Amino acid sequence: MRLLHTADWHLGKLLEGKSRLEEQRHVLGQFVSFAEETQADVVCIAGDIFDNGHPSAAAESLFYDTLKKLSNHGTRLVLVIAGNHDQPSRLEAIGPLVQEHGILIYGTPKTKLPSGKYGEFEVQSLDEGVFSAEIHGEKAVFVCVPYPSEKSLNEVLYQEEDAEEKKAADYSEKVKALFRKKAVWYEEDSVNVLVSHVFTLGCVKDGSEQGMMLGNSYLLPLEVFPKEAQYVALGHVHRPQKAVGSQGRIRYSGSPLPYRLQEAVIAKQCFLVELHPKEESKVQEYYFDNPKPIEKWVCKDYEEALRLCKEHQDRPCYVYLQIHTDTYIREEQLKELKTYKEDILEVIPLFSSQETEDVRETFLEKSFEELFFSYYKEKKGVEPEQEVVELLLGLLEKEGEDASGLDED
């Protein structure tokens, strides 16, 4: 079975008030081409389809059009789960219409789809969030856990009469209990896949979801994920990566576009995963071509900023412009800059007293892994190997667990 993994489309998202819909249309067109070129049997979209629960008609239209193309008249199974940005009931509402196209949509951990024909596939609904299908003569079992909020976890795991102390259990323990409850459906002779929208301990975040976190309470350790799952397709983090210590079995595909300046340097991609019963997954990376990158220009003075705007006026890009100056940028100067480069998102004058503060803000924006990379490269002259980074993050993870154990005692 060949599975194409993507997530975090965030259709309808704005960048400083500017629509990204045409860029999203471009990269989703690439994604459809990837599905065709690789002859993917299954497409998995791991949450955050839209940027909010009330997407525009144009964003919904792009989603439906892309789903239809991906399904290829029902010859390719398309699996969609909701993320924290999606409105589950709205996402599921089109379920009856898309079933004949081979599309399955899970809005909440409690969603149980009907068994039956989905496109050309016979789907057996086994439990809430669990189904099986035969693909090229091989049985595949999918466990689908859309964004598991505290509320939805309590609804799935507990009855109303259960004691409050049960419902107040640690978040990671609840998620582990839910995953274990669903993993009983995995079979030794089937392809076993888990799809969810969660944070993992040690994942490198770009800052887009920082507001969702309260300390480490929503960071899931590796032992939460069932070992029977040959591949775990995750959404929620916009940087493509392997979960630390998972040897590539657990992965974030990341978003197909950068959605903020901090993501601009990240190579956006999706994963093609080859899966067979009793075998380890094999993963290939496919890279998106960003039609309109986000850039930061730091200029020594206004004249240099104007020169760059003239030189790059015909090149599509969004620009955060920082200009070293002793005076404020005048309104007529801003108008002149935007005459040549209309997609300037922000113009920031850099006064000499600000430079120290800018360095401090940049430091605070970086993740631990990014800081370690910078420090190691400065001291050694080369970037650290990924194994070194994973080892360090693993040690920090263990130290955090030990400290947590002491606190509990």
CATH number, position 19: 3.60.21.10
Q: Domain check: are 142 and 219 in the same one?
A: yes
Q: How confident is the model at residue 409 (pLDDT cuts 50, 70, 90)?
A: very low
The percent of residues above 90 in pLDDT, for the chain, comes to 74
Angle at 218 between CA 7 and CA 409, to 5 degrees: 155
Evaluate whether 77 touches 67 at the Cβ level (below 8 Å): no
What tens digit of pLDDT does each residue of 191-213 get?
999 999 999 988 877 655 554 44
Taken as a whole, the chain contains a residue count of: 409
- Residue-number span of the structural domain to which 403 is assigned: 366-408
Q: Domain check: are 199 and 254 in the same one?
A: yes
The dihedrals phi and psi of 148, each to the nearest 5 degrees, come to -90, 90
- What's residue 285's pLDDT? 97
- What's residue 406's pLDDT? 38
| Lowest-confidence pick of 168-182, 210-224, 271-285 | 210-224
Q: How confident is the model at residue 379 (pLDDT cuts 50, 70, 90)?
A: low
Torsion of CA 193, 197, 200, 203, to 10 degrees: 110
- What's residue 374's pLDDT? 73
- What's residue 394's pLDDT? 66
Q: Domain check: are 154 and 272 in the same one?
A: yes
The percent of residues above 70 in pLDDT, for the chain, comes to 84
Q: Domain check: are 19 and 101 in the same one?
A: yes
Q: Domain check: are 144 and 212 in the same one?
A: yes
Q: Round to whole Å and give the CA distance between 272 and 212.
A: 29
| Lowest-confidence pick of 66-70, 207-211, 261-265, 405-409 | 405-409
Q: Round to whole Å and give the CA distance between 149 and 108.
A: 9
Joined tokens for residue 328 = 């404020």
Q: Domain check: are 201 and 248 in the same one?
A: yes
**347, containing H or E segment:** strand 344-350
Q: Domain check: are 107 and 89 in the same one?
A: yes
Q: Round to whole Å and give the CA distance between 269 and 282.
A: 16
What tens digit of pLDDT does each residue of 112-142 get?
999 999 999 999 999 999 999 999 899 999 9
Q: Domain check: are 200 and 172 in the same one?
A: yes
Q: Domain check: are 359 and 373 in the same one?
A: no
| Lowest-confidence pick of 239-248, 305-314, 346-355, 359-368 | 359-368
Strand partners, 27: none
Q: Domain check: are 253 and 392 in the same one?
A: no
Angle at 121 between CA 255 and CA 126, to 5 degrees: 80
Q: Domain check: are 15 and 70 in the same one?
A: yes
Q: From residue 388, give the alpha-carbon distance in Å to each of 244, 363, 372, 393, 399.
A: 11, 22, 11, 9, 17
Joined tokens for residue 320 = 């955060």
- What's residue 21's pLDDT? 97
Handedness of CA 129, 130, 133, 136 (dihedral sign): positive
Q: Domain check: are 92 and 187 in the same one?
A: yes
Number of structural domains in the chain: 3
- What's residue 169's pLDDT? 74
